[in-house]
């Protein structure tokens, strides 16, 4: 059974700091991995999708890496800003007919001005 | 283009009642999935529909049911509500039924008293 874990559960950093969020999964048989952002009480915004054959994806100040063999992904946020404060969720797509997402519990990020 | 829309935004019900949640996917998207997110946790997969057929079902009781209409919109029904059904219900759509990116709506906040 696929399980996704995110560490740390919460993180508080001063503005301008570079930071890394971690995601691990127990079964390497995934199709892809997605990182999402969720603001309080809101829906999910897709940030990056990494296909299982890829090692990393970049979008602006965000860079996500994937190491399938070790069951790990990291989300790197450069030069953090207060507007980056949100919960960040990673999810893997597993291979049954539904191609459902299996989520971690998220990392709650606070960037202090 | 409009994103995924969900209605209603908020809903308050009492135990034992029934509820229907609605979702309209992004234009051109044929697949709709439903997720339940309990406070402090990541979303959990409930159903996926593609071309009006159920493609997958998560570990939820038979009180939960869904359907997809010819215009690809979807409804999620929950009967005999329990206190534990209180959650944010998220709808996601994607173009096909495979591993492409899922786009989430803002969610419906259900409170069961």
Per-residue pLDDT tens for A36-75? 999 988 899 999 999 989 999 999 999 999 999 999 999 9
Instruction: Look at residue B1 in the predicted model and tell me its pLDDT.
Output: 61
Q: pLDDT band at residue A1, thresholds of 50, 70 and 90?
A: confident
Alpha carbon distance A71, B67 (integer Å): 35
Instruction: Look at residue A109 in the predicted model and tell me its pLDDT.
Output: 97
Beta-carbon contacts of residue A66 (< 8 Å; ≥ 6 apart): A33, A50, A52, A54, A55, A56, A72, A73
| Nearest CA among B88, B70, B100, B97 for reference residue B21 | B88
Where are the extended beta strands (E) located within A15-100? 19-25, 30-38, 44-51, 56-59, 62-67, 72-77, 86-94
**pLDDT higher than threshold 70 for residue B97:** no
* Cβ neighbours of A32 in B, within 8 Å: 99
Token look-up 């009642």 returns B17
Express each pLDDT in B56-94 by its tens digit.
899 999 999 999 999 999 999 999 999 999 999 999 999
Residue A71 in contact with partner chain B when CB distance is under 8 A: no
Query: From chain B, which residues contact A within 8 Å (Cβ)?
Result: 4, 33, 35, 40-45, 48, 55-58, 88, 90, 92, 97-99, 101-107, 109
* Cβ neighbours of A44 in B, within 8 Å: 43, 90, 92, 104
A106–B42 C-beta distance less than 8 A: yes
Instruction: Look at residue A41 in the predicted model and tell me its pLDDT.
Output: 83
């Amino acid at each position: 059974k696929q399980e996704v874990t995110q560490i740390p559960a919460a993180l508080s950093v001063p503005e301008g700091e570079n930071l890394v969020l971690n995601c691990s999964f127990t079964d390497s048989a995934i199709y892809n991995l997605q990182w999402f952002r969720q603001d309080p009480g809101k829906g999910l915004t897709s940030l990056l999708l990494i296909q299982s054959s890829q090692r990393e994806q970049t979008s602006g100040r965000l860079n996500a890496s994937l190491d399938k063999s070790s069951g790990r992904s990291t989300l790197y946020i450069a030069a953090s800003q207060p507007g980056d404060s949100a919960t960040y969720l990673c999810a893997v797509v597993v291979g049954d007919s539904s191609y459902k997402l299996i989520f971690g519990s998220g990392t709650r990020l606070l960037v202090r001005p | 283009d409009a994103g995924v829309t969900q209605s209603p935004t908020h809903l308050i019900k009492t135990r034992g009642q029934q509820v229907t949640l609605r979702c309209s996917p992004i234009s051109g998207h044929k697949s709709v999935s439903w997720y339940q997110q309990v406070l402090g946790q990541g979303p959990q997969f409930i159903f996926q529909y593609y071309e009006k057929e159920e493609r997958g079902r998560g570990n939820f009781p038979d009180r939960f049911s869904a359907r997809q209409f010819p215009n690809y919109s979807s409804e999620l029904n929950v009967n005999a509500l329990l206190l534990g059904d209180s959650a944010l219900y998220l709808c996601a759509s994607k173009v096909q039924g495979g591993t492409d990116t899922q786009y989430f709506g803002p969610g419906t906040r259900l409170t069961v008293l």
